[in-house]
Amino acid sequence: MKRFFVLLAAVTLLHGAAVAQQKKPVAKKPAGKPATAMPAARLAAGKTVYTQNCLTCHMADGGGVEGMNPPLSKTTWVLGDKTRLVGVVLNGLQDQDIDGEPYRNVMPAQNQLTDQQIADVLTYVRNSFGNKASAVTPAEVKAARAANKK
């Protein structure tokens, strides 16, 4: 009888070890979207604003028109200081060299656009045409607009 209990204990231990080995490891949760991923809705809204207000001069590919309208792809003006970029939209731009190239067409101020529209279009531009940069927020636009009024 003693042998029976020893054998039963051994079988129970072996069975428990086999069951433990069969358990599948818990899958790790995906890390989620990278911090640089832009919400599709923001990009779509920005593209709409771009199509309505910017495409005529800066072209569908963001390439601009040589000597007239600067490109929006991979320039320090687009990828650099967001406050300066917001200022261009709010105040317009004229006779300004962009990355050492002269552009002589006048960009009219687009200050009729809402803070959200400006944030969306600049986020779209900063993440299209080969660009990868942080989003522009409506709060940043609002602050730049307020500083403009002083």
State the pTM of this model.
0.75
- CATH, residue 60: 1.10.760.10
**DSSP character string of the chain:** -HHHHHHHHHHHHHHHHHHHHHSPPPPPPP--S-TTPPPHHHHHHHHHHHHHHTHHHH-TTS--BTTTB---SS-HHHHS-HHHHHHHHHH-B-SEEETTEEE-SPBPP-TTS-HHHHHHHHHHHTTSTT---PPPPHHHHHHHHHHHH-
Domain assignment present for residue 118? The answer is: yes
What total of structural domains would you count in the chain? 1
Q: What is the pLDDT along the chain (150 residues), one digit of tens a residue?
A: 555 454 444 445 444 544 445 544 444 444 444 445 678 999 999 999 999 999 999 999 999 999 999 999 999 999 999 999 999 999 999 988 999 999 999 999 999 999 999 999 999 999 999 999 999 999 999 999 999 887
Domain assignment present for residue 121? The answer is: yes
Predicted local confidence at residue 149, as pLDDT? 83
Domain extent, residue 68, equals 40-149
